[in-house]
Amino acid sequence: MNEVLDLLIYGKQILTLKGGIRKGSSLAHLGIIEDGIVGIKNGKINLVEERSGKKFDAKYEIDASNELVMPGFIDSHTHLLFYGSREEEFELRIKGYSYNEIQNKGGGIWNTVKKTINAKDDELEKILIERIRFAIENGTTTIEIKSGYGIEPEQEIRLLKLLNRIKYKVDITIIPTFLAHLPPKNRSEYVEKITNEILPYIRINNLAKFVDVFCEESAFNKMETLYILKKARDEGFSLKIHAGEFNDIGCCDILDMLDLTSIDHLVYSNEQCEEKIINKSVCVTLLPATSFSLMQRPANARKYIEKDIIISLASDFSPASWILSLQEVISIACRYLKLLPSECISATTINAAYALKMDKDYGSIEKGKFADVLVMNVPNYNWIGYTMGFNHVKFTIKEGKIVYAKE
């Protein structure tokens, strides 16, 4: 007799995403099982196969025989932890002011830093939990969250501690990242502070998995970025950079010296940079919702796919781009980056897991992996990109537990 499963899902179409990360033409391959079943036991996928009249015992069943079943979305790049908003700057952007012009007037990131520093812990915690709840309802089952709106060491550490406390209060996986976001006026002193004080403290207290640096004309330069990341590597962190969002200042050269898990944005790039990315199997995380919100040109995603670069998609939710649903990010990516809905699904599941070094355990519906599964009320997967502004999630399942069910 078969063992009793905890949860059994019948699906019209199951997108398994089996077989590991995707690139090039395989990005569009979703590993589809028509009229299939997913069995979950002890928080993990126990079986995934065609239904074909088989009978299983389960404590609980979801009949999604008219619906789509797929892996939970993984948002591998967010700035979820901040206080306040910047809608007045949105008006300025519409009127034609640039990101840097607004930042130089004390707006942009500095504006949010001020508000975040002045907010109390419980105010920040409340807002963060509300945002995470929204993400869960929209199908996100793992979310990376960066620090970065504290700037000063004690504030950055406060934010990371808060993130680590929240981890145990929400129903999804949070991956905390320390982000060196902007240098204050005393920049060389500040870089020393990051490397000598912040990074060792974060390591000892296990407050972050990744260290990320905003490598950009208006933020840290290439040498500062390299200096911070070398120390981060020596401390044992995995590394990421924000690069090529507004300019190409050669941040990719860091790949000559260091291994990076991902390079994020890369709207501006060059051929040598892409060679290095390919040789080191670095994930390029595209953030089209930000380009869209800032009304800027998008990255050349089709070129990256043609070159067999591993790409992922994330929300980059921040006060500059208030878009958190990955369904919406997919809709934007289809129109703005000319990606197919199928390519976007790979880029927000298995490839996004790779961008967080989690693809062995998450990102696909395969036996032995954690059961992070969505039931989507759509006739087929194309609908996720075809529509915009609709939440199609019927159930969000995290490690076998239903954490959201549509009323």
Q: Is 89 in the site for Zn ion (CB under 5 A)?
A: no
Select from 37-45, 55-63, 203-211, 313-321 the region that touches Zn ion (CB under 5 A).
313-321
Part of the chain binding Zn ion (CB under 5 A), chosen from 90-98, 109-117, 269-277, 309-317: 309-317
Work out how close the CB of 79 gets to Zn ion at its nearest, in angstroms, rounded to a whole number: 6
Least spacing, CB of residue 244 vs Zn ion, in Å: 12
User: Which of 67, 75, 316, 359: binder of Zn ion (CB under 5 A)?
Assistant: 316
Sheet of 173-180: strand order equals 73-75, 140-146, 173-180, 210-215, 238-243, 262-265, 283-286, 310-313
Is there a contact between 44 and 370 (Cβ–Cβ < 8 Å)? yes
Q: Quick one: 159 or 371, whose CB is closer to Zn ion?
A: 159
Residue 93 Cβ, how far from Zn ion at the closest point, in Å? 17
Size of the site for Zn ion (CB under 5 A): 1
13: left (phi over 0), alpha (psi -120 to 50) or beta: beta
Handedness of CA 67, 314, 265, 306 (dihedral sign): negative
Residue 279: count of CB within 10 angstroms of its CB: 9
Residue 216 within binding range of Zn ion, rule CB under 5 A:
no
212 lines the binding site for Zn ion (CB under 5 A): no
Quote the least distance from Cβ 28 to Zn ion, whole Å.
Answer: 26
Give whichever of 316 and 343 is closer to Zn ion, judged by the CB atom. 316
How many whole angstroms separate alpha carbon 113 and alpha carbon 129?
19
Least distance from C-beta 179 to Zn ion, angstroms? 8
Which residue, 298 or 341, is less far from Zn ion as judged by CB? 298
Measured in whole angstroms, the distance separating CA 137 from the mean position of its chain's CA atoms is 16
- The CA distance from 282 to 261, in Å, is 6
Cβ atoms of residues 400 and 171 within 8 Å: no
Residue 77 C-beta: closest distance to Zn ion, Å: 6
Q: Nearer Cβ to Zn ion, position 216 or 316?
A: 316
CA distance 105 to 111: 9
Binding footprint of Zn ion on the chain (CB under 5 A):
316
